[in-house]
Amino acid sequence: MNVAVLERPEQSGTRSADLLTLRNVEVRYRGNILVLKNVSLRVDNGEIVALLGSNGAGKSTTLKAISSLIAAEEGRVTEGAILFDGHPIHNSDPVTTVRAGLVQVPEGRRVLEHMSVEQNLVVASAATRLGRVELKRAIEQVCALFPALAENRRRQSGLLSGGQQQMLVIGRALMAAPKLLLLDEPSLGLSPMFVQAIFEAIARIRHEHGAAILVVEQNARVALEIADRGYVLESGRVVMEGRGEELLGNEDLKEFYLGIGAAGAKGFRDIKTYRRRRRWLG
């Protein structure tokens, strides 16, 4: 699937200051279950960064550690540091994190089903305490980004399609005017038409709202088509990183995700072993 997007901002010789930095982050659940091990990554101002990996690699845990939602699952950053705008935020209050401009859209399209689309957006503005004029402007911006929401703004959100609900939860996050938006599996369970619409909107959010985006995604191809850079997680560790176009063309990565000839490979690192074995037998 080729996602039509606006051109990426020109990269100057001096890169912008890091907006988000993870330095050797370790995360444990219930004090002793190690999930992330020495994870380091960064997101610069205005960047889209993809975080890829198989199920159980630690992608969602990484996002929850950043947004401080991990505490609700008895998780904690036990080593390393997470910095946002130069300030440490690991193990912080999630509400404080949102007010600082960092907002996560969790996996699962958790809309307030008995409320209308517009009521969902209004409720989402509570954390940032928007005034009446600002609130109206923010709702109109969301509706301009997602015309399907504008057409259904009075409709009960539980009656929306899965793709429309995904648009709504992203729109709710935008009501907080985030500097950094964390998206967890935005394409999960959606039709190709809605996947394309969602990722085109993600590209527009960076250009029109000025937000940086860290997106966790199983669909590596669609994510890397719009990403400036990407990281691959496996078993709680970063095993590869690079520019989006470089990762999109990486043969090992393509073989892992597309399953071309990688019989029996259980993880990304198994691919290189498999390829070496295949050449040797060959």
pLDDT at 251: 81
Where exactly are the structural domains of the chain? 18-109+177-249
CA 203 to chain centre: 12
Task: Compute the average pLDDT of residues 232-239.
Answer: 93
pLDDT at 14: 37
Nearest CA to 73 out of 85, 83, 65 is that of: 65
Tokens standing for residue 180? 């950094």
Helix-helix angle 162-174:132-145, to 10 degrees: 140
Q: Does residue 171 contact residue 105 with C-beta atoms inside 8 Å?
A: no
pLDDT at 276: 41
Within 13 Å of residue 86, how many CA atoms lie on the same side as its CB?
2
pLDDT digit string, tens, across residues 238-275: 999 999 999 988 887 777 765 433 444 555 556 555 44
* Sheet with 87-88, edge to edge strand ranges: 33-44, 18-29, 75-84, 87-88
Q: How far apart are the first and last CA of the chain?
A: 33
Task: Compute the average pLDDT of residues 83-111.
Answer: 92
pLDDT at 269: 58
Q: Does residue 186 contact residue 198 with C-beta atoms inside 8 Å?
A: yes
**Looking at the DSSP assignment, which residues form a beta bridge with residue 240?**
232
Q: Letter for the amino acid at 109?
A: R
Arithmetic mean of pLDDT over the chain: 85
DSSP letters of 90-108?
Answer: TT--HHHHHHTTEEEE-TT
Nearest CA to 101 out of 180, 190, 44 is that of: 180
Task: Compute the average pLDDT of residues 55-82.
Answer: 94
Computed over its alpha carbons, how large is the radius of gyration of the chain?
19
pLDDT at 271: 53
Eight-class DSSP state of 249: T
- Our separate counts of H helices and E strands in the chain read 11, 10
18-109+177-249 is a CATH 2.40.160.40 domain: no
Q: Letter for the amino acid at 247?
A: L
27-36, 129-138, 166-175 — which is least confidently predicted? 129-138
Run of H or E residues at 220:
helix 220-226
Eight-class DSSP state of 29: E
Is the pLDDT higher at 265 or at 68?
Answer: 68
pLDDT at 282: 32
pLDDT at 56: 87
Q: How far is residue 151's CA from residue 149's CA, in Å, rounded to a whole number?
A: 5
Q: Letter for the amino acid at 149?
A: L
pLDDT at 6: 38
pLDDT digit string, tens, across residues 1-54: 555 443 444 443 334 468 999 999 999 999 889 999 999 999 999 999 999 988
